[in-house]
Amino acid sequence: MTIKRALISVSEKNGVIDFAKKLQALNIEIISTGGTQKVLTEAGIKTLSIDSVTGFPEILDGRVKTLHPKIHGGLLGKTELTSHLEMMDEHKIKPIDLICVNLYPFKETLMKENVTSSEIIENIDIGGPSMLRSGSKNFERVTVVVDSTDYDSVIDEIKKNGNTTLKLRKKLAAKAFRHTASYDATIADYLTKEAQEETIETLTLSYELKQTLRYGENNHQKAQFYRSNFLTNYSLVNSDQRHGKELSFNNIRDADACLKILREYQEPTAVAVKHMNPCGIGSGKDINEAFQKAYEGDPISIFGGILALNQEVDLELAEKLSKLFLEIIIAPKFSKDAFSLLSQKKNLRLLELQMTDNSIETELEYQSVLGGILVQEIDSIKEDETSWKVVTKRQPSEEELHALRFAYRAVKHVKSNGIVIANSQQTVGIGAGQMNRVGSVQIALNQAKDKLEGAVLASDAFFPMADSLEILGENGIRAVIQPGGSIKDQESIDMANKYGMTMIFTGVRHFKH
Ligand SMILES: NC(=O)c1ncn([C@@H]2O[C@H](COP(=O)(O)O)[C@@H](O)[C@H]2O)c1NC=O
């Protein structure tokens, strides 16, 4: 069976003239909706108007154009069934064998500045998805084109056989259903937010393929990277990779962890990450000093790591960075000479990122478990220092308080059990991902060694026992910040007092499992 009739109804009209011309040259009759018909007619392509087929005008400002049995019957009718053919005959419904439809730009409208809600609602396409669904259900006969990148392969197949192959029609139908599902997911997300609903009975997500990755966590695992429909500040998805080979799966996760930490700091700051944990965070009066602090915090672990900085990298800094082995450097900008120096390193990736506004809004994060998915708000709670309680006899000095704030912002991003030892501008010891807290404390102390003078300690969750405090006291740690909440808190407080330490309970836990 050959394709005899096509319907074209597109909002995004790029490439459609060429496609329609080729269909016309293949003797395919074309029906089209108002705006599309205008464009095609102007290009000298003969088309039938929708109303001449339906016998009904386009009404309600375009809300009803193709929603008619003459169209949907033409798409859904099974021409191999005599009963269908008889019914189509009786109601003067002619088969439509190909549809080319793309939808009202809902997402693009949503992202426009100063857009009104009525403009958003009017950009919910109803007739387009209906046609896509009707045609796709009947993929045995109907070719459904929703993506202009498929125009050529469709034309090629029709040229060869007068029709597309069943294989291609099936592929295109699946694509069309993915397209309408994603389109609806975006609308559902918008309306859910508008209706201020929090717990929804069905999770519908819409992400677009950004790139196929060479492999996943290991080279026998296939992997892809999908982007959200909406741009997020500090997101790797919006980065401009200016140099180096493609990011790997592990690079992306590490770089994301790095950026989530960087987002916590307004002052010039550098963050180095290894295996999703920070290994050095430094702040300073300028970005050079910040990097120096981050580097000196742990000059060993930064090797092979990922570094993100929240200010432009200049030549002076680039010279220091070029001496290190780093996988990725992320910054809002690289000066011209910094870029030419760093881009000489073949294995280094350089990424420029939009990181202007570091306000952390309530975002959701997803984690898959076997057979399910967990959704939670990201840990973006604003620290309310007025609810912090000094539980020891000694109050923290201004300097200690400054360091405690710095350390507590960092420990939130360390895998539990998380321990950070820091001064007011630099992490000097990080204990991460241990199965007991005292183990993390020991790792952090071990790493901090000669930098313990005046250092403070932050813990992501309470100390279950006084043993950690005893070790800290013996090692000269003078100030501690932790959520509190253990039944043995009093023992830890007594131990802190014994060593003349000061300790703050924040009341807010920051587990990161
Ligand atoms: N209401 C309908 O019956 C209807 N039928 C097709 N559309 C959409 O109208 C658009 C094309 O319109 P035009 O050819 O007038 O520019 C396409 O994006 C198509 O998906 C419709 N519009 C919205 O639902």
CATH number of the structural domain spanning residue 163 = 3.40.50.1380
For ligand 1, atom 21, which residue shows the shortest CA distance?
127
Let me know if residue 169 belongs to a domain. yes
Please give the distance, rounded to the nearest whole angstrom, from the Cα atom of residue 62 to the centre of ligand 1: 7
Q: Is 35 in the pocket of ligand 1 (CB under 6 A)?
A: yes
User: Of 170, 175, 210, 275, which is the active-site residue?
Assistant: 275
The atom of ligand 1 lying closest to the CA of 13 is 16
Let me know if residue 362 belongs to a domain. no
Same domain, 189 and 215: no
Q: Is 105 in the pocket of ligand 1 (CB under 6 A)?
A: no
- End residue of a domain, out of 164, 194, 224: 194
Please give the distance, rounded to the nearest whole angstrom, from the Cα atom of residue 171 to the centre of ligand 1: 23
- Nearest CA among 359, 365, 366 for reference residue 379: 365
Residue 36 pLDDT greater than 80, yes or no = yes
Entry pTM:
0.89
Backbone angles phi, psi at 407, to 5 degrees: -70, -35
Let me know if residue 200 belongs to a domain. no
Q: Is 103 in the pocket of ligand 1 (CB under 6 A)?
A: yes
Cβ–Cβ < 8 Å for 452, 474: no
| Angle between helix 16-25 and helix 34-42 axes, rounded to 10 deg | 70
pLDDT tens readout for residues 389-414: 999 999 999 999 999 999 999 999 99
- Nearest CA among 12, 11, 39, 20 for reference residue 158: 20
User: Which ipTM did the prediction report?
Assistant: 0.95
Let me know if residue 367 belongs to a domain. no
Q: Give the burial class of 364: count Cβ atoms within 10 A of its Cβ; 0-12 exposed, 13-18 middle, 19 or more buried.
A: exposed
For residue 358, what pLDDT is reported?
Answer: 67
Same domain, 145 and 292: no
Q: How many domains does the chain have?
A: 3
Same domain, 218 and 346: yes
pLDDT tens readout for residues 424-447: 999 999 999 999 999 999 999 999
pLDDT tens readout for residues 144-197: 999 999 999 999 999 999 999 999 999 999 999 999 999 999 999 999 999 999
Backbone angles phi, psi at 335, to 5 degrees: -65, 165
Strand stretches in 105-243, DSSP E: 143-145, 207-213, 223-228, 240-243
State what percent of residues in the chain have pLDDT above 70. 99
How is 385-428 classified by DSSP, letter by letter?
A: GGG-EE-SSSPPPHHHHHHHHHHHHHHTTSPSSPEEEEETTEEE
Q: Is 126 in the pocket of ligand 1 (CB under 6 A)?
A: yes
- Give the mean pLDDT of the chain: 95
For residue 457, the cross-strand partners are 421, 480
Question: What single-letter DSSP state applies at residue 59?
Answer: B
Same domain, 261 and 116: no
Same domain, 162 and 34: yes
Please give the distance, rounded to the nearest whole angstrom, from the Cα atom of residue 133 to the centre of ligand 1: 14
For ligand 1, atom 15, which residue shows the shortest CA distance?
35
Residue 357 pLDDT greater than 80, yes or no = no
Classify 29 as helix, strand or coil.
strand
Let me know if residue 232 belongs to a domain. yes
Residue 454 pLDDT greater than 80, yes or no = yes
Residue 254, H or E segment = helix 249-262
Please give the distance, rounded to the nearest whole angstrom, from the Cα atom of residue 125 to the centre of ligand 1: 7
For ligand 1, atom 8, which residue shows the shortest CA distance?
128
Q: Is 106 in the pocket of ligand 1 (CB under 6 A)?
A: no
Give residue 497's identity as a one-letter amino acid code: N
- Domain range for 470: 384-505
Q: Is 65 in the pocket of ligand 1 (CB under 6 A)?
A: yes
- For the record, the structure tokens of 218 come out as 């290991």
Q: Is 100 in the pocket of ligand 1 (CB under 6 A)?
A: no
Let me know if residue 478 belongs to a domain. yes
Cβ–Cβ < 8 Å for 29, 45: no
pLDDT tens readout for residues 240-287: 999 999 999 999 999 999 999 999 999 999 999 999 999 999 999 999
The atom of ligand 1 lying closest to the CA of 63 is 1
Other Cβ atoms closer than 10 A to 449: 10
Residues whose CB falls within 8 Å of the CB of residue 295, separated by 6 or more in sequence, listed in order: 270, 272, 280, 282, 302, 320, 324
Same domain, 345 and 392: no
Range 358-384 average pLDDT: 88
The atom of ligand 1 lying closest to the CA of 101 is 20
Report long-range pairs for 71-77 (Cβ below 8 Å, ≥24 apart): 71/7, 71/96, 71/131, 72/130, 72/131, 72/134, 74/5, 74/7, 75/99, 75/131, 75/134, 75/135, 75/138, 75/142, 76/134, 76/137, 76/138, 77/138
Same domain, 120 and 234: no
Please give the distance, rounded to the nearest whole angstrom, from the Cα atom of residue 65 to the centre of ligand 1: 7
Cβ–Cβ < 8 Å for 148, 8: no
For ligand 1, atom 19, which residue shows the shortest CA distance?
128
Largest CA distance in the chain: 96
For ligand 1, atom 20, which residue shows the shortest CA distance?
128
Cβ–Cβ < 8 Å for 452, 427: no
How is 71-135 classified by DSSP, letter by letter?
A: HHHHHH--TT-HHHHHHHHHTTPPP--EEEEE---HHHHHTSTT--HHHHHHT--SHHHHHHHHH
Same domain, 237 and 172: no
For residue 482, the cross-strand partners are 505
For residue 80, the cross-strand partners are none
Residue 5, H or E segment = strand 5-10
- For the record, the structure tokens of 133 come out as 């669904």
Same domain, 183 and 111: yes
Let me know if residue 146 belongs to a domain. yes
For residue 231, what pLDDT is reported?
Answer: 75
Q: Is 396 in the pocket of ligand 1 (CB under 6 A)?
A: no
For residue 230, what pLDDT is reported?
Answer: 79
Tell me the C-alpha distance between 506 and 455, whole Å. Answer: 19
Q: Give the burial class of 201: count Cβ atoms within 10 A of its Cβ; 0-12 exposed, 13-18 middle, 19 or more buried.
A: exposed
- End residue of a domain, out of 143, 159, 194: 194
How many angstroms separate the Cα of 11 from the Cα of each of 6, 105, 128, 250? Answer: 17, 7, 10, 39
Residue 271, H or E segment = strand 269-274
The atom of ligand 1 lying closest to the CA of 103 is 18
Q: Is 101 in the pocket of ligand 1 (CB under 6 A)?
A: yes
Q: How many CA atoms lie within 13 A of 440 on its CB side?
A: 25
Please give the distance, rounded to the nearest whole angstrom, from the Cα atom of residue 189 to the centre of ligand 1: 22
The atom of ligand 1 lying closest to the CA of 32 is 14
Range 441-467 average pLDDT: 95
pLDDT tens readout for residues 193-220: 999 998 999 999 999 999 999 999 999 9
User: Of 78, 84, 137, 345, which is the active-site residue?
Assistant: 137
Tell me the C-alpha distance between 401 and 150, whole Å. Answer: 61
Range 289-306 average pLDDT: 96
Catalytic residue status for 4: no
For residue 361, what pLDDT is reported?
Answer: 67
Residue 360 pLDDT greater than 70, yes or no = no
Let me know if residue 366 belongs to a domain. no
Q: Domain with 243 in it: what CATH number?
A: 3.40.140.20
Cβ–Cβ < 8 Å for 396, 502: yes
Please give the distance, rounded to the nearest whole angstrom, from the Cα atom of residue 63 to the centre of ligand 1: 8
Q: Is 64 in the pocket of ligand 1 (CB under 6 A)?
A: yes
Of the pLDDT bands very low, low, confident and very high (cuts 50, 70, 90), residue 328 is: very high
Please give the distance, rounded to the nearest whole angstrom, from the Cα atom of residue 89 to the centre of ligand 1: 26
- Nearest CA among 488, 490, 475, 484 for reference residue 507: 484
Catalytic residue status for 137: yes
How is 341-391 classified by DSSP, letter by letter?
A: HHTT-TT-EEEE---S-------EEEEEETTEEEEEE-S-PPP-GGG-EE-
Q: Is 47 in the pocket of ligand 1 (CB under 6 A)?
A: no
